Chains A and B, each alone.
Chain A
C-alpha cells in the first residue's frame, strides 16, 4: 500500500514537471520574436494575473473599474488583480524559481527599487521586453534617467514604467500659517510648535524618504549617486543631517521618544488632528484622502525649495509567467495616452504619467492638460521642477541603520 502511494506520487510529480517543461520552452523562445499583431492575437481571450500592492481603495478601483473594463473591450483580456504585498510576491517567485517551476501564476507584477533589484539579480524576470511594446517606443523617453535607472539600478528593459511618484509634505492650512520650505525653516517651525510634528520611523518607506530628503536638503544629492555603499563613507557624508535630526528630536511629537511605525499611523494622526503635518510619496495622496473624507478640506501639499525625491514605479513580467503575450498587451495598454490620462485624473487615482511630453502631439497634450488636478495638490510642472533623483537602493539600508543607531536611542 505504502509503496503504491509512493510510486503514484512520483508518477504524478514526474508527469507534472515534464508537462510544464514542454509548454514553456516553446512559448519562451518565441514570444519576443513574434510581431506585435501576433502577440495581440495570442493575448485575445486570455486571462492576465496582475499582482501588486492592494492597500489603496482608489488604486484598486482604478484597476478593477477602468483598466480591467477597457482591456476586456479592447483586447478581450480578463484582468485578474491580486492585491498582495511585494515581499509575499517575491517569496512566491523565489520559491518557484528554486523549484524550477516552468509555469508560474503571476503574469504582471508591480515593482520597483530594491525588490526589482532582488528579482533581477535572481533571474526572476522575463525580458528585456520593453522595446517590443509599441507604446513604449512611441511615447517613452528611453534615455531619461528615470526610465533607464530604478533606484540607481539599470533597468535594461526588464520593467516598463507604470507611473511616477514624488515625495511631498502635507499640512493643514487651517493650522499652519506659513509652510517651511527648507530644513532650517522646518526646525524653526517645529521649535515653535512643539509636539505637533513627527515622521514615521525608518525603515517605513515614507519615513525613510523623509530622512533622505532632509539629507539632500542639508548636504546636497549629487555625491550620493555614485557613493560607495560603505557605512563609514555614508556616515561621514550624512553627519550634518544626523546632527540636525538630533536637534529636531526634543520638539517632536512625544518629544521624539517614540515615532509612528508606519505612514498609515501618521496619516491617521494627521486626520485625528494630533499632528499638523504628514507626508506622502504620492503627490496626489492629499486629494484622494480628501475625497475619501479622511483628511480635512484644508489639507494641502508642499515641497521644499531645493526639491524632493521622486521615483518611478514599474511593471515587470516574471520569467515563468503563464501568459506573456497577455502581459505584454496589458503593459502596452497601460502606456497608452488614454490609460495614463485616466490614471492621472485625481478622481480615479492621481498617479503622475510616465509619457514624455515632447513625444505627444497637440491632441494628446490636450488630453492631459484638460485634467483638473485636485485641490491641495501641486501642479505637475512645479513638481517636475523640484524633482530630485532617488538614492541608489543599496545606500538606503545603511542610512536607515545609521538613523536607528543615532536617533531613537540617544539622549534618553
Chain B
C-alpha cells in the first residue's frame, strides 16, 4: 500500500511537470497577447495594451467571420475524410491481401511528398476543371494531406477491435447496415474522435495549399494569422494563435463529450 502511494506520487510529479511544460507556452502566448513591449531584463512585461484584441474583434478585420468559416471548412473536410478512411482502414486492418504493406506505405505518400510541389500541379489541374478558387476545390485539396492520418489511426483501431463482434452480429441475423451502425460505429467511435481531431487540425492549419487553390477567394483563419507571424508582430501573432488553439481545443472537448454521452461509452479515448 505504502509502495503504491509512493509510486503514485512519483507519477503525479511527472504528470504535472508534463502538463506544465505543455501549458506554460500557452501562458506566454496569453501574456504576449496583451503585451506592448517586454524588454530584457524585465521578468514581467513593461507595458500592456489591447491593440491586438481590439483589432481581432473589430468587424472590419473580419477575423471572427473568417474563424467560423474556417471551422466550417475544416469540419466538412474532417467528415469527408472520415467517410473515405473508414472503409480503407477496415480493409487495411482486417483483410489479408497481396500488397497490403505497399498500400499501407502508399497511404503515407501525401505526408512524405512535399505538398508545395504537388499542389502547384493540382492547382493547374483544378484551374482546368474549374475547381480553383472554389470551396469544393479547397476541400478536395485539404483531404489529401488529411487522409494518411485518418487511415493510419483507424487502421490501428480496426486491428485492435477485430472482426469478431461484427461477425457475431451477422450470425444473429443483423444486415450489414445494422451491423455497421449498431456494432462497428460505436466500437470505433473513440478512434473516430481522435482521427477526426487530428484531421481537423491538419486541415485547419493548411496555409500554402489553401492560398494556392483558394486564390484568396477562400480565406481561412490561418491565412489571416500567418502574415503577422512573418512580420514579427508578436502581439497580433499571439492573439491569433491563442484563438486558433482555443478553437480547436473547445471543439474537441465538445465532440468528445457528445460522442461519449451518446454511446455512454466508458472506454478510453485514443487522443
Q: Is A55 interfacial (CB 8 A cutoff)? A: yes
B87-95, B152-160, B165-173, B216-224 - interface stretch: B216-224
Chain B 204-221, CB-CB to A under 8 Å as 1, else 0, gives 000010011001110100
Contact in complex: B37, A296 (CB < 8 Å): yes
Contact in complex: B212, A293 (CB < 8 Å): no
Chain B 1-43, CB-CB to A under 8 Å as 1, else 0, gives 0000000000000000000000000000000000011111000
Which residue of the partner chain, among B51, B128, B228, B232, contacts A293 with CB atoms under 8 Å? Answer: B51
Given contacts A101-B127, A292-B235, A293-B47, contact A55 B228 (CB under 8 A): yes
Chain A residues near B216 (CB-CB < 8 A): 49, 51, 82, 84, 92, 105-106
Q: Is A96 interfacial (CB 8 A cutoff)? A: yes
Q: Is B103 interfacial (CB 8 A cutoff)? A: no
Given contacts A51-B216, A56-B231, contact A294 B127 (CB under 8 A): no
Chain A residues near B40 (CB-CB < 8 A): 272-274
A263 to B223, CA, bound (A): 21
Q: Is A21 interfacial (CB 8 A cutoff)? A: no
Chain A 80-110, CB-CB to B under 8 Å as 1, else 0, gives 0011110010011001101101000110000
Q: Is A111 interfacial (CB 8 A cutoff)? A: no
A217 to B236, CA, bound (A): 37
Chain B residues near A98 (CB-CB < 8 A): 124
Which residue of the partner chain, among B38, B61, B219, contacts A64 with CB atoms under 8 Å? Answer: B61
Q: What is the interface residue range for chain A against chain B?
A: 35 or more
Q: Is A360 interfacial (CB 8 A cutoff)? A: no
A59 to B55, CA, bound (A): 12
Chain B residues near A49 (CB-CB < 8 A): 216-217
Chain A residues near B212 (CB-CB < 8 A): 88, 91-92, 95
Contact in complex: A293, B223 (CB < 8 Å): no
Contact in complex: A88, B231 (CB < 8 Å): no
Contact in complex: A57, B228 (CB < 8 Å): yes
A92 to B132, CA, bound (A): 10
Instruction: Determine the residue in chain B with the shortest Cβ distance to A273.
Output: B39
A274 to B49, CA, bound (A): 22
Q: Is B130 interfacial (CB 8 A cutoff)? A: yes
For window 249-272 of A, CB contacts with B under 8 Å fall at: 262-265, 267-268, 271-272
Q: Which 10 A-B pairs have the closest CB atoms?
A: A264-B232, A293-B36, A55-B231, A82-B216, A55-B227, A273-B39, A54-B227, A99-B127, A64-B60, A105-B215
Q: A106-B216, A293-B37, A294-B235 are in contact. List 12 more A-B contacts (CB 8 A).
A: A49-B216, A55-B228, A55-B233, A68-B60, A82-B216, A83-B223, A92-B212, A96-B127, A98-B124, A268-B234, A271-B38, A294-B234
